[in-house]
Amino acid sequence: MKIIVANWKMNGDIDLCDKIINSLKSAIYPESIIICPPSPLLFMFREVKFKYGAQNCSTNLKGAFTGEISPSLLKSIGCSYVIIGHSERRNLFCESNDYIFQKFKLILELDLIPIVCIGEKINERSYYKEVLEEQLKYFIKHGDLNKVIFAYEPVWSIGTGIIPNLDDILEVTSFIKMQTQSKVLYGGSVNKKNATEILNIASIDGALVGGASLDPNEFYEIIKISEKIK
C-alpha cells in the first residue's frame, strides 16, 4: 500500500478529528496513513491505529522561543512524523534551506521521521533539476536518508486543481529518488478523481494530500484507492 499523508494546514477542528477517526476505522493499512492536523489537535489522535504528525516544528528543543513547538514535545505526545519545508513555510514565512535543515537534524536525532517538501515554482519549471538539487543538497550531504520521506510538490500545483502530466511526475520523482534513495511522495491537488492515475506512477511511494484530506468521505475514498495499489 502507498503512504498517504493528510496535511490539514490551518484547518480542521475537534469535529473533523472525530469524523476522520471514525471513517478510518476500517482502514486495512493504518500504518501507512499519516494525519497532520494543526498541532493543538494532535492529542485527539493518541488512541488511533494510524500515524500522526506535525506540520512544522522549532529548530530548538526548548527555551525562550515564544510560539514555537519543540520536536521533543511532538514526540512525547506520540507524533511519528514532522512535515518540514512546505512551500507555504518557505514562501510565507521565509524559511531557507539552511533553516529547514536545522529542523531536519533535530527531527532525526529524536528518531522522528521528517517529511521534507521540495518543489519548483511555475517560473522555475524549465530548470527544475537545479532548483531541486539546491533544495536537496543539505540533506544529501547529511548522508543516511533511508528513513526520510521526500514529498515532491510543484508549488504551482498546490491548491490549484492543476497537476503536472503523469510523465513529468514520473521523471521528476525518479530524479529525486535517484538523488536520495528515499521514499518519494507526490503532492499537489491530489483528489479522489486523480488518485488512481497518480498513485499508479511507479516511482511514487504515496501522496501528500491537502484540500481533499479535509473532506472525510473524499479522503476515505483516496485511502481505499491506495489500498488497492501495490
Element (H, E) at 179: helix 166-180
Asked whether position 190 contacts ligand PEP by CB under 6 A, the answer is yes
Handedness of CA 23, 45, 161, 171 (dihedral sign): negative
- Of residues 1 and 83, the one with the C-beta less far from ligand PEP: 83
Could you give the CA distance from residue 164 to residue 166 in angstroms, rounded to a whole number? 6
- Of residues 112 and 198, the one with the C-beta less far from ligand PEP: 198
Asked whether position 184 contacts ligand PEP by CB under 6 A, the answer is no
- Of residues 95 and 153, the one with the C-beta less far from ligand PEP: 153
Minimum CB separation of residue 119 from ligand PEP in Å reads: 9
Strand-pair partners of 33? 4
| CB-based closest residue to ligand PEP | 210
Asked whether position 211 contacts ligand PEP by CB under 6 A, the answer is yes
Residue from 118, 188, 198, 219 in contact with ligand PEP (CB under 6 A): 188
- Of residues 53 and 187, the one with the C-beta less far from ligand PEP: 187
What letter would DSSP give residue 69? -
Does residue 71 contact residue 112 with C-beta atoms inside 8 Å?
yes
The residues in 100-159 that bind ligand PEP, with binding defined as CB under 6 A, are: 153, 158-159
Could you give the CA distance from residue 104 to residue 57 in angstroms, rounded to a whole number? 10
Asked whether position 20 contacts ligand PEP by CB under 6 A, the answer is no
What's the number of CA atoms in the CB half-sphere (13 Å) around residue 203?
A: 20
Could you give the CA distance from residue 68 to residue 107 in angstroms, rounded to a whole number? 15
Does residue 28 contact residue 1 with C-beta atoms inside 8 Å?
yes
Residue from 1, 7, 156, 176 in contact with ligand PEP (CB under 6 A): 7
Minimum CB separation of residue 124 from ligand PEP in Å reads: 18
Residue from 210, 220, 225, 226 in contact with ligand PEP (CB under 6 A): 210
Give Cα 212 distance to the centre of its chain.
14
Q: Give the cell for residue 49.
A: 491505529
Q: Which residues are catalytic?
A: 86, 153
Please give the residue ranges that form the binding site for ligand PEP (CB under 6 A).
Answer: 7, 153, 158-159, 187-190, 208-212
